[in-house]
Structure 1
Amino acid sequence: MRELKGKTAFVSGGASGIGFAMARAFAAEGMKVMLADVEQGALDQALKQLGEFGPTVRGVACDVADPDSVEHAAQAAFAAFGKVHVLCNNAGVAGGSGIDNISLDNWRWVLDVNLMGVLHGISSFLPHIRAHGEGGQIVNTAAMAGLQAGLGFSPYAASKFAVVAMSEGLARELKPLGIGVTVLCPGFVRTRIGDSGRNRGERYGPAQTPDPASQAGAMAANIRIRLQSGLDPSDIARQALTAIRENELYVFTHPDMRGEVDERFAAIQAALDKATAG
């Protein structure tokens, strides 16, 4: 999609972090933008911050874990702007597990938002994008955690691995239709994902804080520190814009993390070589 001006983007998780940065970047390019977020207060504040773009930026409350909520948000976008061309399945949460406290509620919450939320977005918007025939781009936010298991036994990593696989498969099927797919795989970015529990639905039970003395607690503390010193979300938004224009499948923002991915690939290659050797 070389020409973005006048096109429409829908961004879930659009009230803060990477989602907000992408929304601002899109609006600055002359696009119409629908922000969707589960946090109404943050959504209202985001719309105020984007007030300079006037009526070309709107907002809608949306819980991506609920397919009806996503469909409602999609219909609001169609009603406000007509055709949607860029879908950003960006909403995400972080939740741990490990092997000492395997919480089914944690797993359901993280997978419902990070994995099913992407599926709900595709289900609601892809038929529309195919029908208008003007092409488009689906941008799914995964993470470097979707390519290596440094987080251990984790619903977050499992969900992001799945998003990478979904994006790769989707790209293959949509290429003949003139619809591109991009999967964002950032490392540590200065966002509030470390405080995801603030938006945890009641159906998943209370948020659980790991014991600071445990391995999971130590990892959570380390992640918080690395998030605080991470990339600015605008850097990821800039790369996302380029990827949309160039129809790039993968966006990697932290090349310094390549060693962790290479280690995994090397182990896979070694196992394949062993199988080949018989």
Structure 2
Amino acid sequence: MEDVKGRTAFITGGARGIGLGIGRAFARAGMKLAIADIDPDSLAAAKSELAKLTAVETFNLDVRDREAYARVADEAEARLGPVSILCNNAGVAAATRLTYEFWDWMLGINLNGVINGIQTFLPRMLERGGGGHIVNTASGAGLAAEGSGLMYNTSKFAVVGMSESLRRDLEPKQIGVTVLCPGPVGTNIVGNSRITQPAARNAEEAKTWEAITEQVTAVLARGVAPDKVGEMVLAAVKENRLYVHTDRVMEKYIKARTKALLDALPPAK
């Protein structure tokens, strides 16, 4: 999709971090923006900034809420026109314990949030025609299990597989699909995740989580800037690329996983 100027993009988790970086890049490219996020203060700040560059509307949205999603989609298209670029970017990352409550939380946002975005907007894109593009934010942790945590890896592997399959299915419809697989990016995703995260069981667990949050946030702060990631995503949309890597952090893990998969194949006949 080389010509993006004047098109409307819908970005979840769009008021902070990578989502805001994508919004800035898209705004500079002349797109209209519908920014959805769960944090009202960040939404207000994002609108104040981005409105200087383009038409922008903001929406408070929990991507797990399908009825709210449909309502927000209607409002966004009524104000800005048909959405032809969808960025399923909202996500969480945090220390977890192995409980149904945490599985539901992690998968509800990282996986079902992506499904809800696709199920809300894709039928509209197909019905209207005229092409489009879907960007799903996964992670390098969706390409190899390198230690980001069982639940996080599970959710991101699913988004990668979904994106690969969706791209194949949508190619004849002139709708592109990109899966963003970032390494460390300078965001506060772990701290932000605690807004919706299930509560700690006791003071000791809360203290442990706080320490993990500080450690991971410090690592992420040394990563790629969100605005640079936004420019990568814009280029991928224009060039219709499937994968976006923000660095080479995952290289050795991807190579090791690929080798293990190939080595496990039965001998050639």
TM-score above 0.5? yes
Q: Are positions 1:223 and 2:216 aligned together?
A: yes
**How far does the alpha carbon of each residue in 1:156-192 deviate from its partner, in whole angstroms, 9 at most, with x for none?**
1110000000000100000000000000000000111
Q: Are positions 1:234 and 2:230 aligned together?
A: no
TM-score by length of 2: 0.93
**Taking structure 1 as reference, are residues 153 and 29 closer, same or farther at Cα in structure 2, changes over 3 Å only?**
closer
Q: Are positions 1:103 and 2:102 aligned together?
A: no
> How far apart are the structure 1 equivalents of 2:11 and 2:5?
16
Q: Which residue of 2 aligns with 1:3?
A: 3
Q: Which residue of 1 aligns with 2:74?
A: 75
Q: Are positions 1:29 and 2:22 aligned together?
A: no
Structure 2 letter corresponding to 1:31: M
Q: Are positions 1:159 and 2:143 aligned together?
A: no
Q: Which of 191, 194, 199 in structure 1 is aligned with 2:195?
A: 199
> How far apart are the structure 2 equivalents of 1:210 and 1:79?
49
Structure 2 letter corresponding to 1:65: R
Within 5 Å, which residues of 2 pair with 1:234-253? 234-253=227-246
Q: Cα offset for 1:96?
A: 3.1
The runs of 4+ residues in structure 1 deviating greater than 4 Å are: 207-214, 216-222
Structure 2 letter corresponding to 1:161: F
**How far does the alpha carbon of each residue in 1:118-151 deviate from its partner, in whole angstroms, 9 at most, with x for none?**
0000000001111111100000000000011112
Structure 1 letter corresponding to 2:237: I
Higher RCO (CA < 8 A, seq sep 6+) = 2
The count of residues paired between Structure 1 and Structure 2 equals 268
Q: Which residue of 1 aligns with 2:64?
A: 65
Q: Which residue of 2 aligns with 1:43?
A: 43
Contact 1:210 1:217 in 2 (8 A): no
Q: Which residue of 2 aligns with 1:186?
A: 182
Q: Which residue of 2 aligns with 1:255?
A: 248
Structure 2 letter corresponding to 1:17: G
**Taking structure 1 as reference, are residues 152 and 53 closer, same or farther at Cα in structure 2, changes over 3 Å only?**
closer
> How far apart are the structure 1 equivalents of 2:165 and 2:102?
27
> How far apart are the structure 1 equivalents of 2:125 and 2:167?
14
Q: Which residue of 2 aligns with 1:16?
A: 16
**How far does the alpha carbon of each residue in 1:22-48 deviate from its partner, in whole angstroms, 9 at most, with x for none?**
111111111111000111111011111
Give 3-state SS (helix, strand or coil) of 1:255's partner: coil
Q: Which residue of 1 aligns with 2:143?
A: 147
> How far apart are the structure 2 equivalents of 1:218 and 1:263?
31
Q: Which residue of 2 aligns with 1:123?
A: 119
* Bigger mean CA deviation after superposition, 135-144 or 76-85: 76-85
> How far apart are the structure 1 equivalents of 2:115 and 2:153?
17
> How far apart are the structure 2 equivalents of 1:119 and 1:247?
21
Task: Give me the CA root mean square deviation.
Answer: 2.2
> How far apart are the structure 2 equivalents of 1:47 and 1:257?
34
